[in-house]
């Protein structure tokens, strides 16, 4: 059997690492091996957004890099499809495995199906029902096309059944990102927090905070709905500076999209001069995990961090109006609350979090063994 797996952007790397390990273990234990080709579309290309994850998670270098880079959505998807079609014609794989919901996921699923190659989607069935989110469009189209839909939880499976998917197509496997988290906890715990700041400090800033366990906030923001509008972003900054930073230090790994916007809106200088906020470059996997384990609170618009906070028991203020990962919400037993970018709600939920404790939970099958269940499902499909 020949499998091509696809990665494109940062949140894909922690999902593909355990899947590649599962193929390697299978090949050690079985006479007939699986031939595996890793394709990187190149959507994320900075060292800190891409290669650092390959190194940290010991992902073998991609066999093929399509070098797509930045661009509008149509440019990224179009260029990826043209380049990936050539790979498929040359390699003739039995399966294309895509993960998550980035532009690479969408582009490679369409290209594969047009050439009658089977598609397996890991992390299928997530729905935010927000068609303004580019990722929702990517998820809907990918799931409509995929032959095999591997879901992280029952809510996601139910979404797919409601859309007409069959029992043969949908297999619950758990959350593959938690395989990576479990495998890397020990290494993350051994890192010192002052080292994280020293290694990642933004060139234009000086070190101004000390991180004590359970007494700091971590901020990450990159969604267009939060960072692309001057007023919205300014409102969030006001909340962070006037409210959060007065109570505890904030460490903020700034996503490249957000850095560009902060500079365009003339907010960058203001942030640099705010006491108790430390801007750092996008962090490596282990550094962010270490900060997450010991944070008092996470303020984020990332879906992946909502899941990691759930398993680690870190309070998570999610700066979105909806989530495709409802299993992480406090009302469903998780640790996260949705506050959108409503500053009053943000303040209210943040205050509640300061007083109460949350418990770490592990939804069903978030047990670190998801990748081998993914590979099993592929091997059993139609066999």
25, 30, 33, 70: which one binds ligand UD1 (CB under 6 A) = 70
Catalytic residue chosen out of the listed positions 121, 222, 255, 286: 222
Residues 299-318 as x/- pattern, contact with ligand UD1 by CB under 6 A: --------------------
Nearer to ligand UD1 among residue 52 and residue 294 (C-beta) = 52
- Report the alpha-carbon distance of residue 216 to residue 93 in Å, rounded: 48
CB of 105 to ligand UD1, least distance (A): 8
Q: For residues 106 and 102, what is the distance between their CA atoms, to the nearest angstrom?
A: 7
Q: How far is the CB of 324 from ligand UD1 (least distance, A)?
A: 11
Determine which residue in the list 5, 80, 103, 310 makes contact with ligand UD1, applying CB under 6 A.
Answer: 103
- Sole binder of ligand UD1 in the list 256, 267, 271, 274 (CB under 6 A): 256
Shortest distance (Å) from residue 256 CB to ligand UD1: 3
C-beta of 302: minimal distance to ligand UD1 in Å?
6
- At closest approach, how far in Å is the CB of 287 from ligand UD1? 15
Residue 192, burial from CB neighbour count under 10 angstroms (0-12, 13-18, 19+): exposed
Give the burial string for 314-329 (b: 16+ CB within 10 Å, else e): bbbbbbbeebbbbbbb
Q: Which two tokens stand for residue 294?
A: 């010991």
- Please, which residue, 134 or 235, has the CB nearer to ligand UD1? 134
**End-to-end alpha carbon distance in the chain:** 12
In the complex with ligand UD1, which residue's Cβ is closer, 103 or 314?
103
The reply to whether 11 sits near ligand UD1 by the rule CB under 6 A is yes
What are phi and psi for residue 209, nearest 5 degrees? -130, 155
SS3 of the chain: helix, strand, coil, percent, to 5: 50, 15, 35
* Main-chain phi, psi angles of 364, to 5 degrees: -50, 130
Element (H, E) at 307: helix 303-312
Contact positions with ligand UD1 (CB under 6 A) in 214-253: 222
The answer to whether residue 45 forms part of the interface with ligand UD1 (CB under 6 A) is: yes
DSSP result, 264-288: HTT-HHHHHTSTTEEEEPPPPHHHH
Per CB under 6 A, the segment of 97-105, 114-122, 140-148, 329-337 that binds ligand UD1 is: 97-105
The H or E element that residue 151 is part of is strand 148-151
Question: Known catalytic residue: 286?
Answer: no
What is the maximum span of the chain, computed from C-alpha positions, in angstroms? 63
Binding residue (CB under 6 A) for ligand UD1 from 10, 40, 121, 330: 10
Q: Which two tokens stand for residue 307?
A: 């899941």
Query: Counting contacts by CB under 6 A, is residue 325 touching ligand UD1?
Result: no
CB of 149 to ligand UD1, least distance (A): 19
> According to the binding rule CB under 6 A, does residue 257 interact with ligand UD1?
yes
Chain positions 267 to 286 lying near ligand UD1, rule: CB under 6 A, are none
How buried is 282 (Cβ within 10 angstroms: 0-12 exposed, 13-18 middle, 19+ buried)? buried
Q: Which of 61, 64, 52, 60 is nearest to 104 (CA)?
A: 64
Q: What are phi and psi of 300, to 5 degrees?
A: -150, 160
Q: Which residues bind ligand UD1 (CB under 6 A)?
A: 9-11, 43-46, 49-50, 70, 101-103, 134-135, 222, 255-257, 260
User: Which amino acids are annotated catalytic?
Assistant: 222
């Amino acid at each position: 059997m020949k499998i091509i797996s696809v990665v494109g952007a940062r949140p894909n790397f922690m999902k593909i690492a355990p899947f590649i390990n599962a193929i390697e273990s299978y090949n050690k234990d079985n006479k007939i091996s699986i031939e595996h080709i890793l394709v990187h579309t190149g959507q994320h290309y900075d060292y800190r957004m891409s290669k650092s994850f390959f190194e940290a998670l010991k992902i073998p270098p991609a066999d093929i890099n399509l070098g797509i880079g930045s661009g509008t959505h149509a440019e990224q998807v179009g260029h990826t499809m043209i380049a990936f079609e050539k790979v498929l014609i040359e390699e003739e794989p039995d399966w294309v495995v895509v993960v998550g919901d980035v532009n690479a996921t969408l582009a490679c699923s369409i290209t594969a199906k047009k050439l009658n190659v089977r598609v397996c989607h890991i992390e299928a069935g997530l729905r935010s029902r927000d068609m303004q989110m580019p990722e929702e469009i990517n998820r809907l189209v990918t799931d409509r096309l995929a032959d095999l839909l591997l879901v992280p939880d029952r809510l996601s499976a139910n979404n797919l059944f409601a859309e007409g998917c069959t029992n043969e197509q949908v297999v619950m496997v758990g959350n593959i990102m938690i395989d990576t988290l479990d495998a890397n906890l020990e290494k993350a715990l051994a890192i010192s927090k002052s080292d994280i700041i020293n290694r990642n400090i933004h060139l234009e800033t000086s070190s101004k905070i000390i991180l004590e366990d359970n007494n700091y906030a971590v901020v990450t923001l990159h969604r267009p709905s939060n960072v692309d509008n001057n007023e919205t972003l300014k409102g969030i900054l006001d909340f962070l500076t006037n409210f959060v930073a007065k109570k505890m230090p904030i460490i903020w790994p700034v996503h490249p999209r957000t850095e560009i916007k902060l500079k365009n809106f003339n907010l960058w200088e203001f942030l640099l001069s705010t006491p108790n906020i430390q801007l750092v470059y996008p962090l490596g996997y282990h550094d962010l995990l270490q900060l997450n384990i010991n944070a008092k609170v996470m303020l984020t618009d990332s879906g992946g961090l909502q899941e990691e906070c759930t398993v680690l028991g870190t309070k998570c203020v999610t700066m979105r109006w909806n989530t495709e990962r409802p299993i992480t919400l406090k009302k469903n037993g998780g640790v996260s609350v949705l506050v959108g970018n409503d500053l009053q709600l943000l303040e209210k939920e943040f205050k509640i979090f300061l007083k109460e404790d949350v418990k770490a939970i592990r939804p069903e099958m978030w047990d670190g063994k998801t990748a081998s269940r993914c590979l099993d499902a592929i091997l059993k499909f139609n066999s």
